[in-house]
């Protein structure tokens, strides 16, 4: 059996040039090299064995190939990219392969073509299934984390405020204090209950947030006005030409950005929040920054569940997500969402 020759190196370089992210991600680059080498070796083996079939989906659960799809999902690499790379490989390597296996007549050329096709395509049913399963698990995890976050907010913030308000009312009922003290307790109770009501209203707005027919920046401005109607310390700006994104992508992005603003009000409400959209032909970059107290972003924090949920949601739409903060130096949330997709 012959082995892949030098032209394969040039073809791999063409693929890497088409996908510049490979240059910055050693895991993806190594995966490409391993898979291309394995594909070609398998094609030679199929040809030598006389296998004339190009049908490979009966082995779609091959664990070796499932790993590739999982890696792509972890790195937010859509399967269409891998399919394009495979097409480039097949198109460029077929003449080389036919020559190297010595196929001269029509039956041999046809067998060589099928062997190369099967060797390359064998990865994709398994890879696509693994990619879909990884996204399904990520979506399930984000959903469960969101439910946990809501339950914790209801318990830690809303329920505690209601209990504290009721306790002050009970204190008045049970002790019958003098009028000035009674008024003070009742005013405290009213303030606590109003705060709890505001929290419930904010939670309801966030849960029902939709982009709808708006563009993402307009939708965020609209919902921010609903969530923080009397807050003048939020500024939202947009640069470039906003474009509509697929609804599933824009809805997830809106949820992430509203969570970032909600966290700002929870932890740095006396500071100023700035949201900036930067639109390009390929992506929109959104930063949510504040000049609040900040925190050590290298330490584990009680609020890490919300951060993890935002990270999971970003992964679902192929976006990049990061939070940077230092004590006394504010916090910045950055979300880069690729434009396009169906």
The tens digit of pLDDT for each residue in 103-114 reads 889 989 998 998
Question: Tell me, what's the pLDDT at 290?
Answer: 92
Question: Tell me, what's the pLDDT at 71?
Answer: 60
- Rounded distance, CA 317 to CA 245, Å? 11
For the chain, the maximum distance between any two Cα atoms, rounded to a whole number of angstroms, is: 107
Question: Tell me, what's the pLDDT at 64?
Answer: 60
Q: Long-range contacts made by residues 185-192, C-beta under 8 angstroms, separation at least 24?
A: 189/165, 190/165, 191/165, 192/161, 192/162, 192/164, 192/165, 192/168
**Please, what are the domains in the chain?**
7-135 (no CATH), 211-342 (3.30.565.10)
- Rounded distance, CA 111 to CA 120, Å? 14
Between the alpha carbon of residue 206 and those of residues 202, 251, 319, the distances in Å are 6, 11, 21
Mean pLDDT, to the nearest integer, of 16-31?
68
Per-chain mean pLDDT for the chain = 78
- Rounded distance, CA 140 to CA 132, Å? 12
* CB-neighbour burial class of residue 258 (10 A; exposed 0-12, middle 13-18, buried 19+): buried
Question: Tell me, what's the pLDDT at 25?
Answer: 66
The tens digit of pLDDT for each residue in 203-233 reads 666 655 677 778 999 999 988 887 777 767 8
Dihedral over alpha carbons 74, 77, 83, 86 (to 10 degrees): -80
């Amino acid at each position: 059996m012959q082995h892949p020759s030098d032209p394969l190196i040039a073809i791999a370089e063409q693929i890497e040039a088409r996908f510049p992210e490979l240059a910055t991600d050693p895991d993806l680059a190594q995966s490409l090299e391993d898979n291309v080498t394995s594909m070609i070796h398998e094609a030679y083996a199929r040809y030598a064995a006389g296998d004339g079939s190009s049908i490979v989906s009966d082995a779609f659960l091959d664990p070796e190939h499932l790993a590739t799809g999982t890696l792509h999902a972890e790195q937010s690499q859509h399967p269409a990219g891998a399919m394009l790379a495979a097409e480039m490989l097949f198109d460029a390597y077929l003449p080389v392969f036919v020559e190297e296996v010595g196929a001269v007549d029509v039956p041999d050329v046809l067998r060589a073509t099928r062997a190369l096709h099967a060797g390359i395509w064998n990865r994709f049913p398994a890879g696509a299934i693994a990619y879909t399963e990884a996204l399904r698990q990520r979506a399930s995890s984000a959903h469960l984390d969101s439910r946990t976050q809501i339950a914790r907010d209801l318990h830690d913030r809303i329920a505690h405020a209601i209990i504290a308000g009721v306790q002050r009312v009970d204190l008045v009922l049970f002790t019958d204090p003098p009028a000035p003290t009674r008024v003070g307790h009742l005013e405290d109770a009213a303030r606590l209950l109003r705060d709890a009501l505001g929290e419930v209203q904010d939670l309801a707005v966030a849960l029902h947030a939709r982009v709808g027919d708006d563009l993402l920046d307009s939708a965020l401005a609209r919902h921010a006005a609903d969530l923080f109607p009397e807050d003048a310390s939020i500024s939202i700006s947009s640069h470039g030409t906003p474009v509509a994104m697929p609804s599933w992508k824009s809805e997830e992005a809106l949820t992430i950005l509203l969570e970032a603003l909600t966290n700002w009000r929870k932890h740095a409400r006396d500071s100023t929040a700035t949201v900036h959209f930067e639109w390009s032909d390929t992506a929109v970059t959104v930063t949510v920054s504040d000049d609040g107290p900040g925190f050590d972003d290298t330490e584990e924090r009680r609020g890490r569940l919300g951060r993890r949920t935002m990270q999971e949601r970003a992964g679902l739409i192929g976006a990049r997500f990061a939070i940077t903060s230092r004590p006394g130096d504010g916090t910045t949330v950055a979300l880069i969402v690729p434009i396009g997709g169906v």
